[in-house]
Copies of this chain bind each other. A is one copy, B any other.
């Protein structure tokens, strides 16, 4: 006769595991000796080995009894089901790996592949890390709040990275981060940015723009990503210029 420790050693598991299997009804509780110790026979080794083998093969404890008690047909079916679950689990993990491999640099963290391509090209421009992160965060926000819209506009933004005027404005923003909001150079930069904006596709002209709630748009446009008074001032200046320009354009169109 064996003690629980000896049984555990024979089956290669912990005594705790055996007690758990007793508690879950996977193994019958054996007789006790005079002092209350569990006493096992050879059959217990067989029973335990079956449970342990199935458990290590990935069968959930709650279903091991079903597998062991099943006859041939049922057993095949049970094993097939568990195998299918294992297969699905493996597929999920492999998808995780694929996604994870894109996240090996902080500047691409958590972006979909097409945005990662943009970030990789943006990197060649040599902006500050703060600025790159702010742009990355803008994409994360864009994908979270209006994925379709963001996906739609991305190709044109990517193309702009080959546009000297766009790159110059980007560099201008980079330089301006720590300027005072009263810095006179901001007007010049706002002019350049406004010229650029008028040349670019307006987000509000994109298909699907109407389907995005206005609060969502406010969230998107209200977030600069960097706490820079100069950028806030730039935002004001450009908005003012664009409003004027749009009014003029509308006047021209309707007049």
- Name A residues whose Cβ lies closer than 8 Å to a Cβ of B: 2, 10-11, 41-43, 45-46, 49-50, 53-54, 56-59, 67-68, 70-72, 75-76, 79-80, 82-83, 86-87, 89-90, 93-94, 96-97, 99-101, 103-107, 109-110, 137, 140-141, 143-145, 219-220, 222-223
Taking the closest CB of chain B, its distance from the CB of A148, in whole angstroms, is: 14
Enumerate chain B residues within 8 angstroms of A41, measured Cβ to Cβ: 223
Q: List 5 A-B contacts (CB under 8 A).
A: A54-B103, A75-B106, A79-B104, A86-B96, A90-B93
Enumerate chain B residues within 8 angstroms of A70, measured Cβ to Cβ: 106
Count of this chain's copies in the oligomeric assembly: 2
Going nearest first, the 9 A-B pairs with the smallest beta carbon separation are A42-B223, A53-B110, A58-B96, A79-B104, A57-B100, A76-B104, A50-B110, A46-B137, A57-B99
| Contact residues of A: prevailing secondary structure | helix
Enumerate chain B residues within 8 angstroms of A90, measured Cβ to Cβ: 90, 93-94, 97
Enumerate chain B residues within 8 angstroms of A83, measured Cβ to Cβ: 97, 100-101
In the complex, which residue of chain B has the Cβ closest to the Cβ of A7?
Answer: B144
